[in-house]
Amino acid sequence: MREVVVLGIGMSQFGKQPEKGIRELGEEALYNALIDAEIDKKKIQIAFCGYVLGSLNGQEVCPGQIVLRELGIGEIPVLRVENGCASASFAFKEAWRAVASGEYDVAVGMGIEKMTGLGKGAILKAMGGGSDFELEGNLGLTFPGVFAMIARRHMHEYGTTMKQLAMVAVKNRKNGSLNQKSQFREVVTIEDIENAKMIAHPLTLNHCCPFSDGCAVAILTTKEIARKYTTEPIFIASSVQKSGTYTDSLDITRFEPTIKASAEAYKLAGIGPEDINLAEVHDCFTIAEIIHYEDLGFCKKGEGGMLIENGATQIGGRIPVSTSGGLLSKGHPLGATGVAQIVEIVEQLRGKSGPRQVSNAKVGLAHCLGGFMHGDVCSCSVTILKK
């Protein structure tokens, strides 16, 4: 397997953008990635596009081709990847495999989603399909409901507090206020979070990530080719994906796919969790980020609440998490989130994140989940990048 480098990255603005469709969102992100890579678009040989809700906006079949055409890119193989909220992570992984295998020299891994302007009811029904719709979603299972139950159980088992949950949202909103591409740019207080509309007890509105529109793109190539374009390549040290087991005895305060995927990713990269300088995690709800701290090995089981409370995951702390603002602040356009996490990690490792820059960042981790079924995560992706 060849060493693979992230040569170029690009993102659109994230947020509610009713005036833009996938064509406009994708064109912005892909153009930015090409400019960043300083590579001729004719060099691109294959593309993978993460996308989830196409059936709701009438552009279900060929989102990648639609976006690439706007930049004059045709003929090459373009594959759509759909795996729930982790779709873009899997598209990125396939782009990495295409280059690492030697079959292609330059590949695009991208993700895109249009969630606003499609009707709240339709979106909520589609989100119900993120589970086993026949056995769970059709009976009323919702993601806020699931994570509310997880939060209550974690609080019962480990003493996690409402204040600690709220501190995750406060941190990520603060980080998002420093990110020009973030959906939410205003900071919030613990009191703001506690007094917000209740969604599923104990989670109020600000404990939950928003609906978003957006696109993110990464251009991958070999180490040898990258030398022609940059003197500071960002390498893909490992990229691992796992699915759930769906057994009846699962502990809902831990996600086994995350534990297993991260353990394998660390092994392949030749490092441990103590070597990670920053991480982007799937903080769809505040309790999720706390559990990810534990599952990724940043602290012991049950100590995630204390990790946020003692400031370890703040920018400037021992292990900054969700420096982009995360899903809670940057936004969560389903099909785009996984590559947006890669964009943040690459910017940080390049030292170009401005006021949210992590000091001396050399190794970063991106973690994304997709779907939830029978008390378990359907898909999990963990990717480690290094300078």
Give which of 55, 182, 89 is closest to 377, Cα–Cα: 89
85 classed as catalytic? yes
> 239 — phi, psi (to 5°)?
-150, 115
> 295 — phi, psi (to 5°)?
-70, -30
Least confident of 53-57, 111-115, 142-146, 185-189: 53-57
Angle at 89 between CA 348 and CA 146, to 5 degrees: 105
Q: Which residue is catalytic, options 209, 332, 367, 378? A: 332
What is the pLDDT averaged over residues 41-55? 92
What is the pLDDT averaged over residues 303-327? 98
Residue 338 DSSP code: H
Q: Which residue is catalytic, options 49, 85, 299, 378? A: 85
Domains in the chain, please, with CATH? Answer: 4-119+212-226 (3.40.47.10), 138-206+236-386 (3.40.47.10)
211-245 per-position pLDDT tens digit:
899 999 999 999 999 999 999 999 999 999 999 98
pLDDT number for residue 250 = 87
What is the pLDDT averaged over residues 188-199? 96
Residue 337 DSSP SS3: helix
pLDDT number for residue 30 = 98
347 contact partners, CB below 8 Å, separation of at least 6:
9, 353
pLDDT number for residue 122 = 65
To the nearest 10°, report the CA torsion of 225, 228, 229, 235.
40
Question: What is the Cα–Cα distance from 175 to 376, expressed in whole angstroms?
Answer: 29
378 classed as catalytic? no
pLDDT at 248 over 60: yes
Kindly state the percentage of the chain with pLDDT values over 70: 93
pLDDT band at 307; cut points 50, 70, 90: very high
129-160 per-position pLDDT tens digit:
556 666 676 666 788 888 999 999 999 999 99
Helices 143-158 & 286-295, crossing angle to 10 degrees? 60
- Are the CB atoms for 343 and 300 separated by under 8 Å? no
